[in-house]
Amino acid sequence: MTGIVNPVHKAWPGLIEAYRDRLAIGDNWKTVTLREGGTPLLPAGHLSEITGCDVYLKVEGLNPTGSFKDRGMTMAVTDALARGQRAVLCASTGNTSASAAAYAAKAGMTCAVLIPQGKIAMGKL
């Protein structure tokens, strides 16, 4: 996404650390993060005019794998690692598989992705 810069991203710790006090995770859990979240909100002037409300658009494409799926995957892989799991498995045609692979790699875990035949988002493989 050219031209969109998230000024807080360099200091952003990732979702789990940002919201640790609200999550059911152990104090000694190793967080698996790629500093997901903290994506900017952009004002949507035209939509605000049409609706009479302040409307903002969240730029989720600035997450590490370009998808909002990273928000859940950080927690899923952190939880799996804390439970002693050695692998991540998912069924996906695109965004979930990219996110699972990235977070599993960060955690040093094996990742297996099941993809339905003929249903592949090639840009995510």
> What are the 10-residue block averages of pLDDT along the chain, 125 residues in total?
54 92 92 95 96 96 95 98 97 91 98 84 66
Domain boundaries, the chain: 15-124
Instruction: Please state the pTM of the whole predicted model.
Output: 0.85
What architecture is domain 15-124? 3-Layer(aba) Sandwich (3.40)
Range list of H helices, the chain: 15-18, 45-51, 69-82, 95-107
Residue 25 to residue 80: CA distance in whole angstroms? 11
What is the chain's Cα-based Rg?
17
The SS3 call for residue 59 is coil
